[in-house]
């Protein structure tokens, strides 16, 4: 389960930011989660709920997840298209000369401190 590792990384990053900014309590954290990042949202939430209870800075912090749609670019025709319903082969020209341009990232978007 790599979701636990992701959660630990996010918590460590927030604790570091919290020390640098003098935060006392974090109420929520918003993550941007790429549609094809491989992380499962409900597993992230379960790991989050377990892990934050063990922190001083954010024991009751909520995790919010915003999905970043996956988009693929076709080198054959130059068009972008939604990755999940289409896959690797371009639906416009049939080319396999494609690459993912968005949708596999995981970003900390926002930290709400009170």
Q: How far apart are CA 71 and CA 6, in angstroms?
A: 23
10-56 per-position pLDDT tens digit: 999 999 999 999 999 999 999 999 999 999 999 999 999 999 999 99
19 exposure class (CB count in 10 Å sphere: 0-12, 13-18, 19+): exposed
Return the domain boundaries, the chain: 2-113
Q: How far apart are CA 14 and CA 99, in angstroms?
A: 32
The closest alpha carbon to 93, from 80, 112, 102, belongs to: 80
**The domain at 2-113 falls in which architecture?**
2-Layer Sandwich (3.30)
pTM of this structure: 0.88
**65 DSSP β-pair partners:** 31
pLDDT score recorded for residue 113: 95
């Amino acid at each position: 389960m790599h979701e636990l590792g992701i959660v630990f990384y996010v918590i460590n990053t927030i604790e570091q930011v919290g020390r640098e900014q003098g935060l006392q309590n974090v109420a929520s954290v918003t993550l941007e989660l790429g549609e094809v990042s491989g992380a499962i949202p409900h597993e992230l939430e379960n790991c989050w709920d377990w892990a934050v209870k063990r922190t001083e800075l954010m024991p009751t912090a909520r995790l919010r997840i915003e999905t970043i749609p996956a988009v693929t670019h076709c080198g054959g025709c130059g068009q972008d298209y939604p990755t999940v319903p289409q896959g690797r082969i371009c639906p416009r020209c049939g080319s396999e000369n494609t690459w993912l341009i968005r949708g596999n990232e995981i970003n900390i978007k926002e930290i709400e401190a009170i």
